[in-house]
Structures are given as C-alpha cells and as structure tokens.
C-alpha cells in the first residue's frame, strides 16, 4: 500500500513546474521542439457549479487549453467561450466528444447524463475526467470502468475524489499505513454540509437526474476517503434516509451557484414551493472486509451543522485517531485515554487542482508513457457506487444490503 497519494507520480511530474520539466526532458532526448498543449480539453457542463471553476483552473495551466465547451444554457455559453477562447461552443455534447482537436473530456453534468457521454468518450479514444457519482448506478459505473480499463492504447481516467487530497486525510493514511493504530476496528465519518433554508431546488433534488441524493453526492466522497485510508472495503450496508429540509422554491433549471446567489437576492421573487425528491439526510452502518464496522452520517439538511465534532474517527486495536479538516487537528488517543496532537493542518483550500494533481497524474499516460502511480479513477468510482447503491437500496428495503 502506498503511504502518500501520488507518491510515485509526483517526483516525476507533480505540479505545473514538474510537468513542464518532465515534458522538456522527454522532448530534448528526442531532439524535438515543444508541442502544443498536452491536454486539449472539452468540457461538458461547462457553465455549472463544478464546470466553471474547473475551467478557470485549466486556463491557468500552460500544459492545457480549453478547445470546446458544452452547456444546456445558451445564455451562459457566450461568456464562457470568451473566457476560455474556445473554438467550439455548443449545446450538443456529442460535438465536443467528436471534435478532432479534443483529446481530454471533462464530464461535469448531472449524474444521469454521465453514462452515454463516457461511453462515447471511450469509443472515440478520449482521455477522461468524470465527476462522481460516475453513473446513476453501479451497473453504469462498472461498464464505464471496464471500457477504460481495457482500452488500447491506454486511456487516462480520473475521478475527482478531492477528499483524498486534504492534508489531514493524507496524514491519517500515513498513520494507519505505519501501523500506529493497529488493526482498524471501527470508523465514524460525519459529513454535514448544510444548505441554506431558503435555497431553491436544483437538479440534485431531482431523482431523475441525481443518482441517490446526498447518499451518492457526499457519501461517495466519504466512503472513498475511508476506504483509501484504511485499505478495507465495505461488504454490506444498513441505512436510513430522509428528506429533512422543508419545501423550497422551485425556480426551474438553475444551477447550484445561481441557487446560492438567489438566497441573498433581496429582490427575489419566489416560485411555487415543494419538497425535494431525493434524500438529504442518511445514517449508514457498514461491515468491512477486514472485520471492522463503520458509521456514516451524511447530510445536506439545513439544520444539521458542522464543526460540532471531528469529521472522522478511526478506532484501532492499538490507538484511536480523530481527524478534522475544519480545525486541521489530527489527534491520537491511546488506550489509557492520553491525547496527543499529531499535527495541525487547517484546510487552506485546494488551490489549482488540475496543475497539482490531475495533469501531473495523467500526463505520462496521455503522452503514451504510462507510469506506475496512484490516482482516483473509474475503478474507484465504481467501487464507491456499489457502496452508495447498497445504502440507497437499504433505505428502501429496511435491511442489510450486500455491496
């Protein structure tokens, strides 16, 4: 098991500076000139809450260029095209995937729109970043993973489980890997991300577009982080889920950024109100394949606030660990209840995620020189989706469900 994320990749190509140095050295050895950008990017869902900041980060990267963008909102596309200098703007995602100048596609659309687009990307030989949850269910996620796993020549694929990249969770993994906690007996993860009470509905409240509401949205992040830290997978899940937030305004097809802005608009006019159709609160129990057990509290509900308790607890046969990204404190507790602050690393944000993680991890593969390394990919997306599927099914069935 690797102790640090991208431990093998980063010494070669980590960060924008290293990726340029790696490329220059490679080309110098071949006696060739510097090429066009390595990543010629097409973005699906380009103007949404996720796509917009991704594009802003890519614009800062010398190794990448945004070539084509797609969004359902024509009113937002013109500004996006001007920002990116994109060759193609369209409301038809197929034109982006089929564009001969695009070699890397970002799928940042609602969950229900991933599967067909990713299959088309695989068929066209496009490298990929696909948002999580990667599909509406594990069957879709598994099909995507198998296509990219078996692609020849190799296709790069990245699933942005950003929680792995938070420093306190990296520290937790290093401690577990070093054996300081002993065997992991129990885990507790609290992911409470309250949305404003007045925030209107978005596609995440629509079961036709969202895989499993909060269970899939933040549950995939939480489970992937724990699985990555402890090196064990859930084998069955028991879950309870509710929609706790009261009815909210229905303003039609708005994105999350617009929904949050609307909350603070003093001149806003409210539309009809209704309750969201997806779970926004869930409590999960699971059994891991190492014999341990886990508890997850997942919430977007308005009145469940964070900062009250550490986000993650790991309990082992030798010691326990408390991990809290909000304070940055990683605290080890011995069997005699002695507490020791291992490190304080407050969350300062990710910075440019593409220059720090995505492009360094994928550049060698895109250039036809795969390296041995570790980054979250479609296999991880499929494994996370098996967990969230089981949790969602357990909510309906009221019993343990195997993953």
pLDDT in tens, 293-307: 999 999 999 989 888
pLDDT in tens, 149-181: 999 999 999 999 999 999 999 999 999 999 999
Tokens of 215: 């269970």
* Low-confidence winner among 93-97, 235-239, 258-262, 281-285 (lowest mean pLDDT): 258-262
Which of these, 8, 29, 39, 6, lies nearest to 363 by C-alpha position?
A: 39
Over 60: is that where the pLDDT of 25 sits? Answer: no
Which of these, 313, 309, 308, lies nearest to 333 by C-alpha position?
A: 313
Over 50: is that where the pLDDT of 29 sits? Answer: no
Over 50: is that where the pLDDT of 13 sits? Answer: no
Q: What percent of the chain has pLDDT over 70?
A: 90
Which of these, 352, 358, 362, lies nearest to 23 by C-alpha position?
A: 362
SS3 373: coil
pLDDT in tens, 100-156: 999 999 999 999 999 999 999 999 999 999 999 999 999 999 999 999 999 999 999
* Low-confidence winner among 43-52, 342-351, 356-365, 391-400 (lowest mean pLDDT): 342-351
End-to-end CA distance of the chain: 23
Over 90: is that where the pLDDT of 259 sits? Answer: no
Kindly give, in sequence order, each residue whose CB lies less than 8 Å from that of residue 9, ignoring residues fewer than 6 positions away: 360, 361, 364, 371, 373, 374, 375
Greater pLDDT, 262 or 226: 226
Question: CB of 254 within 8 A of CB of 262?
Answer: yes
Query: Cis ω on the peptide bond leading into residue 133 (within 30° of 0)?
Result: yes
Pairing of strands 339-344, 329-333: antiparallel
Greater pLDDT, 13 or 155: 155
- The predicted model scores a pTM of 0.91
pLDDT in tens, 368-386: 987 777 899 999 999 999 9
Tokens of 145: 């993973």
Query: Cis ω on the peptide bond leading into residue 71 (within 30° of 0)?
Result: no
């Amino acid at each position: 098991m690797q102790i640090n994320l991208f431990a093998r990749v980063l010494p070669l190509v980590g960060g924008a500076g290293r990726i340029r140095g790696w490329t220059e050295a490679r080309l110098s050895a071949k006696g060739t000139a510097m090429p066009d950008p390595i990543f010629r990017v097409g973005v699906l869902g380009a103007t949404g809450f996720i796509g917009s900041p991704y594009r802003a980060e890519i614009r800062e990267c010398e190794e990448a260029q945004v070539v084509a963008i797609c969004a359902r909102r024509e009113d937002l596309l013109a500004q996006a095209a001007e920002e990116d200098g994109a060759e193609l703007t369209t409301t038809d995602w197929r034109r982006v995937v089929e564009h001969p100048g695009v070699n890397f596609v970002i799928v940042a659309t609602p969950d229900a729109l991933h599967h067909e687009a990713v299959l088309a990307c695989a068929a066209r030989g496009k490298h990929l970043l696909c948002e999580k949850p990667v599909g509406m269910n594990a069957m879709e996620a598994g099909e995507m993973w198998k296509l990219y796993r078996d692609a020849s020549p190799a296709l790069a694929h990245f699933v942005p489980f950003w929680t792995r990249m938070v420093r306190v969770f990296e520290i937790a993994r290093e401690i577990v890997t070093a054996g300081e906690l002993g065997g992991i007996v129990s885990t507790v993860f609290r992911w409470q991300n309250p949305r404003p009470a007045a925030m209107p509905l978005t596609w995440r409240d629509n079961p036709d577009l969202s895989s499993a509401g909060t269970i899939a949205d933040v549950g995939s992040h939480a489970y992937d982080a724990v699985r990555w830290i402890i090196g064990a997978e859930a084998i069955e899940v028991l879950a309870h889920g509710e929609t706790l937030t009261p009815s909210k305004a229905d303003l039609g097809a708005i994105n999350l950024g617009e929904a949050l802005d609307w909350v603070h608009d003093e001149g806003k006019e409210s539309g009809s109100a209704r309750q969201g159709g997806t779970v926004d609160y869930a409590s999960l129990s699971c059994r891991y394949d190492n014999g341990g057990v886990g508890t997850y509290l997942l919430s977007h509900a308005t009145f469940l606030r964070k900062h009250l308790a550490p986000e993650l607890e790991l309990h082992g046969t030798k010691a326990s660990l408390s991990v809290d990204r909000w304070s940055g404190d990683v605290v080890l507790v011995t069997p005699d209840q002695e507490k020791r602050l291992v490190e304080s690393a407050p969350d300062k944000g990710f910075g440019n995620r593409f220059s720090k993680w995505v492009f360094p991890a994928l550049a060698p593969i895109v250039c036809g020189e795969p390296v041995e390394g570790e980054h979250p990919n479609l296999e991880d997306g499929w494994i996370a989706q098996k967990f969230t599927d089981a949790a969602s099914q357990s909510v309906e069935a009221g019993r343990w469900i195997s993953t």
